[in-house]
Amino acid sequence: MAAVAAAMMAFTPLHAGAADAAAHPSGTESEGNWMVRLRGTYLDFAQKSDPVGGAGASDRIGVNNKWIPELDVTYFFTPRLAAELVLTVPQKQDVYLDGNRIGSFKHLPPTLLLQYHFRPHARLRPYVGAGLNFTRIWDADIAGNTLSLDRWSIAPALQIGMDYRLTRNWFLNADIKKVWLSSDVKAAGAKVSEVKLDPWLFSVGLGYRF
C-alpha cells in the first residue's frame, strides 16, 4: 500500500508544471474558503494482533475490509493552509479469529487534519496533511460478549492527495490516508491481546468549493 502513496508522490512533480500551464483561465481568481467533498473510501486494515493470552501465534484476530461513504469539510485559512474534518456514518465491522467470524462492533472514526496545498491556483492541486483520528467504539459483541474493545482510541493520521479542477467550483479528488489505530482486547476487564488495525484509507470523489 505504501507503493501506491509513493506513486502519487512521483506523479505530482512530473505533472505539476503541465498542470500549471493548463490551469483554468479563472484559476487566479479569488476562491471561497470552504470546500466540501463526497468520497467513496476503502478501509484496508492491517490485520495485526498480539498473541491471545500472551501465548501462541500472532495475527489471529482480524477485521473485515470494506467500502464506506465519506464526507469531508475543509476550511482554507490561506490558499495553501487548510484544515479538514473527515466524517462518515457509523460503521459496523466484523471480527474474525483464525478466519472465523466471532462477532462485530460499531465505530465512528472522525479525523481532523491540517493540510498544506502546494499549487493552490493550478488545475492539478496536490496536498499533504497530518492530524488525529478519534474513534468511538460501541455495541461490541465478540465471542458471546466475553471479549470487549476500548471504547475510545486516538491515533495519528497522515494524508496525501490531489484535487483536479473541473470547473470554477467543482473538483475531482483522490486521497490516501494512513491511521495508526489500535485497541486492547479484554476478557473480564483483563487485557488478553492488542489489535493493530492501522488502516489505509483509499478515497475518490468530488469536491465543491465556495
The answer as to whether 27 is a domain residue is: no
Per-residue pLDDT at 117: 99
Per-residue pLDDT at 24: 44
Three-state SS sequence of the chain: CHHHHHHHHHHHHHHHHHHHHCCCCCCCCCCCCEEEEEEEEEEECCCEECCHHHCCCCCCEEECCEEEEEEEEEEECCCCEEEEEEECCCEEEEEEECCEEEEEEEEECCEEEEEEECCCCCCEEEEEEEEEEEEEEEEEEECCCCEEECCEEEEEEEEEEEEEECCCCEEEEEEEEEECCEEEEEECCEEEEEEECCCEEEEEEEEEEC
Give percent above pLDDT 90 in the chain: 66
The answer as to whether 104 is a domain residue is: yes
The answer as to whether 25 is a domain residue is: no
Q: What is the pLDDT of residues 84-137, one digit of tens each?
A: 999 999 999 999 999 999 999 999 999 999 999 999 999 999 999 999 999 999
The answer as to whether 56 is a domain residue is: yes
The answer as to whether 26 is a domain residue is: no
Per-residue pLDDT at 5: 53
The answer as to whether 165 is a domain residue is: yes
Per-residue pLDDT at 26: 43
Mean pLDDT of 187-191: 89
Q: Indicate which CATH number applies to the domain containing 133.
A: 2.40.160.20
Give percent above pLDDT 70 in the chain: 85
Mean pLDDT of 173-179: 99
Q: State which residues form the domain around 196.
A: 2-20+34-209
Does 64 score more than 80 pLDDT?
A: yes
The answer as to whether 126 is a domain residue is: yes
Total tally of structural domains belonging to the chain: 1
